[in-house]
Chain A
Amino acid sequence: MKKLWILAGGVCLYAMACKNEQAPAPQVKTACDTAKIFTSYAVAVIQSNCTSKGCHPGGNSPAAANFSSADRIKAYIAAKPGIFAQRVTGPQADMPPAAFTALSQGAKDSLACWVNHGMPDQ
C-alpha cells in the first residue's frame, strides 16, 4: 500500500509540472527594418519628382505643401503624415499627378521607411 502511495505521489508530481506553452510567433523583419534611408535621399526623390515640375512649390501651388527645402518637407510630413502617406507612398497614391512619371514602388517604400524611422538625417 505504501508503494502504491509513493507511485501515486510520483505520478502526481510528474503530471503537475506539465503545461503546453508555445513560443510567440517570430517577428518577421522587413527590408525597412534594416534599410538605412536618410534625408538627403528623400529630399532628392521629392525635389526631382515634385518641386522640379514647378509644384510644391517651386513656384506654383500648393503653397501649403512646400517641398523647397529639407526642413519644409520634414515640417509638412510631421504636420500631415496621414495625407503624405495616402497621397505619396500609399497604395492609392495619386501624386505625382498622372501627367508626370509616377514614383516607382521602391521610391515609395523608401520614402515611407524614412518617415517611419523618424526622418533621420544620417
Chain B
Amino acid sequence: MKITQRALAGTVESSDCMVMLLPAEELSIEIDSIVKQQYGHVIEKLVRDMLKKFDVTAGLVKIQDQGALDCVIEARVETALRRAGKEAKA
C-alpha cells in the first residue's frame, strides 16, 4: 500500500523524534539523527519493520531523531501511519 496523504507525529524535543510521511512512488527513508553514525542502521530497521507491519510499500518517510529510544521511535512512526489512515495488519 502507498502513503497517499501527508502525516506528521512527534516533536523535536530531546529524547523524541519527529516523523513525516509523504506520498511517493517508491519507498524511501531519510534519517536525520544526532546518533546517526552509531545507530542510523538500527533506526532504519525499526522504521522498515513498522512499515512492513502496516503493509506500506511506497512513500517517503522522514525521521528527525533527537536520541529517542526504540519504543519512542516506534510510537511516533505508528502515530504518523495511523494519521495517514493506515492500520496494522491483523
* A and B interact physically: no
Contacts from A to B (Cβ < 8 Å): none
